[in-house]
């Protein structure tokens, strides 16, 4: 299953690395818990809830990071932070 992410634009100041390029990435939530994904680069922030066993595909700059948060009862806990270049899907 794939899903599109909506970009929430940051301020108009662009600090994007000129050497980075947009790549297709994928993330599979191979757990029994809901995950909150947050993809951040210098232009925008993307957030999406991913269901257990759900795969999500997204485009991101190669120097962007994917943060994976686990939703607990009272708070969300940052579980991992992955460079999007490592999630590149060819």
Could you tell me the mean pLDDT of each successive run of 10 residues in the chain, 90 residues long? 42 45 88 88 80 89 88 72 81
* Per-residue DSSP letter, 52: T
User: How many CA atoms does the CB half-sphere of 77 hold within 13 Å?
Assistant: 6
> Is the distance from CB of 67 to CB of 40 less than 8 angstroms?
yes
- Does the predicted model carry a pTM greater than 0.95? no
| Confidence (pLDDT) at 44 | 74
Domain boundaries, the chain: 22-87
Handedness of CA 55, 58, 62, 66 (dihedral sign): negative
| Confidence (pLDDT) at 3 | 42
């Amino acid at each position: 299953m794939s899903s599109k992410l909506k970009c929430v634009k940051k301020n108009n100041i662009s600090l994007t690395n000129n050497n980075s390029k947009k790549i297709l990435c994928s993330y599979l939530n191979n757990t029994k818990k809901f995950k909150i994904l947050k993809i951040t680069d210098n232009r925008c922030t993307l957030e999406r809830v991913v269901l257990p066993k759900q795969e999500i595909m997204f485009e991101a700059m190669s120097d962007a990071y994917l943060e994976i948060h686990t939703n607990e009862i009272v708070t969300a806990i940052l579980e991992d932070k992955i460079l999007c270049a490592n999630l590149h899907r060819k």
